[in-house]
Structure 1
């Protein structure tokens, strides 16, 4: 009976996802907000709460994040990654200042203390790599000039998590300086080791993985990705970072074949991830913290747009691409929830969990919309401002016309020139008749 319940619930979820995806495609926008709202409807406190398939959905959600970052890594080589990181590390510093500081300030204003300030700074700082990867794919922007800038910022954030999460874990556990330093050193060594292997031995890995049989290629790539992601997670590095670096390491035929084979799996498990996020949220916990969460979301959405605009401008991207880069970075998601979950488990502040959940839910819904409409909205405002500047001002009312006096011609000092109408009218009439005679095949002036 339990298996039958799992099948019924999973079938219902997947069917609803398909229908919501069709609805989003019909109106030309990303299906992510609908997936999240569907998760809220199926979650605890929703309209149709699910119970039997919860564990499977949670595991599928984690696989979805891993596959999203793997497919993102397949788009770029290790050399591209290093080049972008070298070029964009100042953007990472600006990203931290613009987006972590508002979260820390909000926690201090609410009287939650310094540890909660560190937690909320991480929640507002880190964009959702999973959501952004999905949105860029849905909008067909993976080949845009601003996309490497966006990816560089996301990778810098994910790599920064290798430093941030061990520090946060030590703070929440009250660990000493030595224990926290050891955890941090292990995390940094793991991330650096995976990146070194991807750079140095990427061709050998691609040659080992590559195979003409699609089945064997799929199994090897998927198994290697999950293995590296799991090891990275065990060593306090994000599983998403591990999956991304596996994608970076693959190139050539292996990358092309893996991209083709894994695209349907990515779409399925990515949809499950967004549903799971909604499932884990109790709708009743959102209204009490909605106003502060909304205020914080508005501020940090603007700071993310400013971050993307600044980074894209620094990279020499045109104005339209700058606004697209800023809008694409707005969404928060998986990392923010993980950070808030650590704080809730440690019992730091009761209001922190609901606030973080409402905040992430707002931005994970509005993020895809910001990615799509930031540039058109800015252009429309620019056109409106230009049209307002072109509105002619009212001229002052003219006085009574001057009346020429006798001798008002040249040399008389009058206000008007002499009236030449009586002289010019006969000459103009003769000229018109002559030109009409040349154009009219009959020989006379043209008549209608």
Structure 2
């Protein structure tokens, strides 16, 4: 009885604290992710007040949080959208992967962490935060901008790539051999392909089976199916997160909309618990030694993400201002980076990887909204100054010519209602 009371008090204080931190983040219009990570650091090993009674429950809640994050991500897309994006925008996805995964892999190898850690850190630096970016686009009023589809296409391709990447990482962390790893990847690709085909051809029937006019029944069926599929996927070494993502893709129409509204509060609760759990397993004293590498990695991958967005928007025919806005918007890292790093922390492959990932995400989840807002005006000002300097060096002065590539469609007001 005493331990039960301690658990309730301890876990209740944790949830209350997360609620207050989320309210604080909302007041200042920034993502609560860094505050949740800091809360985990405060209550974990070496923190101010380590959790004892509720640690096991927090671990289970964190796993459910990852599953719900990926389920909700899958619900945002239809299989047709994913196939269309894959066919149309795959070059941007390749550029994104090369420019942003490579710095993480190189740093891990330079630090002597080995190839498995290199693959993990490559994923941490590769994937942008869909949640933070969607929030920033809405707050800045850019959802109707011409560059926004280019941004979203990169995010969709990153999410789809996770269906392949996560099983690879899971197999590597499990220490399976080359043959077993190849089998795991083949299973993952086969399952993903099968789900996409079924969703495209029979998505209505799947949604009809799950559908219910009673919100309670719909919630229970969707959540139950997701947990069962996630568990089966984990048994096959495919990754529970991928299983949840594929369930989300298979559902469409009114079922997806209804499930999204019902599951959103649960997702937010357990996602917050997940970020805290990651912080719990990171000793605050281990962060200062990796702070400089994290800062260097953040600087490099900020530049590479801006380059990625610029290139993708240029390829889509967007003017220079929209290209800079697209690049600056993609900088933020968040939930996926922590999910990937969390797999490595649980497997215990490299003690410093968790602290480095924590510091890296803290930096970029705070920097991301700033680059989204200020990359374009700073780049425009620097470009104008360079033009004036070039004109002066040629012995003439002239006002800045109008940007011949910029069209009215590229302005902030386009597409707003």
TM-score w.r.t. length of structure 2:
0.81
**Does the 8 Å contact 1:102/1:121 carry over to 2?**
no
The corresponding residue for 1:205 is 206
- Is the deviation greater in 161-170 or in 63-72? 161-170
CA displacement at 1:185 relative to structure 2: 2.4
CA displacement at 1:359 relative to structure 2: 2.3
Alignment partner of 2:282: what SS? coil
Write out aligned runs for 1:371-386 (5 A).
Answer: 371-385=368-382
**Does the 8 Å contact 2:199/2:250 carry over to 1?**
yes
**Does the 8 Å contact 2:44/2:279 carry over to 1?**
yes
The corresponding residue for 1:360 is 357
The corresponding residue for 1:124 is 122
The corresponding residue for 1:337 is 342
Change (3 A) 1:204 1:306: same
Tell me the distance in 1 between the aligned counterparts of 2:7 and 2:212: 35
CA displacement at 1:163 relative to structure 2: 5.4
Question: After superposition, what is the alpha-carbon deviation per residue over 1:305-350, rounded to whole angstroms, capped at 9, x for unaligned?
Answer: 3334333433445325522442245772211331354362xxxxxx
Change (3 A) 1:68 1:313: farther
Tell me the distance in 2 between the aligned counterparts of 1:258 and 1:164: 29
1:150 matched to 2:147? The reply is: no
The corresponding residue for 1:438 is none
Tell me the distance in 2 between the aligned counterparts of 1:26 and 1:203: 41
**Does the 8 Å contact 1:225/1:243 carry over to 2?**
yes
Alignment partner of 1:327: what SS? coil
Which residues of structure 1 form unaligned runs of 5+? Answer: 345-351, 397-448
Write out aligned runs for 1:90-129 (5 A).
Answer: 90-112=91-113, 116-126=114-124
Correspondent of 1:160 among 164, 170, 177: 164
Write out aligned runs for 1:170-181 (5 A).
Answer: 172-173=175-176, 175=177, 177-181=178-182
CA displacement at 1:98 relative to structure 2: 1.9
CA displacement at 1:62 relative to structure 2: 1.8
- Is the deviation greater in 64-73 or in 44-53? 64-73
Question: After superposition, what is the alpha-carbon deviation per residue over 1:203-224, rounded to whole angstroms, capped at 9, x for unaligned?
Answer: 1111111111111111111111
The corresponding residue for 1:135 is 132
Question: After superposition, what is the alpha-carbon deviation per residue over 1:353-403, rounded to whole angstroms, capped at 9, x for unaligned?
Answer: 21x22321123213333331213221231354366466997xx9xxxxxxx
Tell me the distance in 1 between the aligned counterparts of 2:132 and 2:80: 25
CA displacement at 1:254 relative to structure 2: 1.0
Change (3 A) 1:311 1:231: farther
CA displacement at 1:128 relative to structure 2: 8.2
Tell me the distance in 2 between the aligned counterparts of 1:299 and 1:72: 27
Question: After superposition, what is the alpha-carbon deviation per residue over 1:245-302, rounded to whole angstroms, capped at 9, x for unaligned?
Answer: 2222212221121122111111111111111111111112222233233323332333
**Does the 8 Å contact 2:203/2:252 carry over to 1?**
yes
**Does the 8 Å contact 1:69/1:241 carry over to 2?**
yes
The corresponding residue for 1:227 is 228
Alignment partner of 2:30: what SS? coil
Change (3 A) 1:330 1:32: closer
**Does the 8 Å contact 1:297/1:363 carry over to 2?**
yes
- Is the deviation greater in 5-14 or in 143-152? 143-152
Write out aligned runs for 1:261-410 (5 A).
Answer: 261-317=262-318, 318-328=322-332, 332-339=337-344, 341-342=346-347, 344=349, 352-354=350-352, 356-385=353-382, 388=385
The corresponding residue for 2:53 is 52
Aligned length: 380
Tell me the distance in 1 between the aligned counterparts of 2:32 and 2:170: 34
Alignment partner of 1:212: what SS? coil
The corresponding residue for 1:71 is 72
The structure with the larger Rg is: 1
- Is the deviation greater in 23-32 or in 149-158? 149-158
Alignment partner of 1:201: what SS? helix
**Does the 8 Å contact 1:103/1:117 carry over to 2?**
no
Change (3 A) 1:329 1:156: farther
TM-score w.r.t. length of structure 1:
0.76
**Does the 8 Å contact 2:21/2:32 carry over to 1?**
yes
Change (3 A) 1:95 1:390: closer
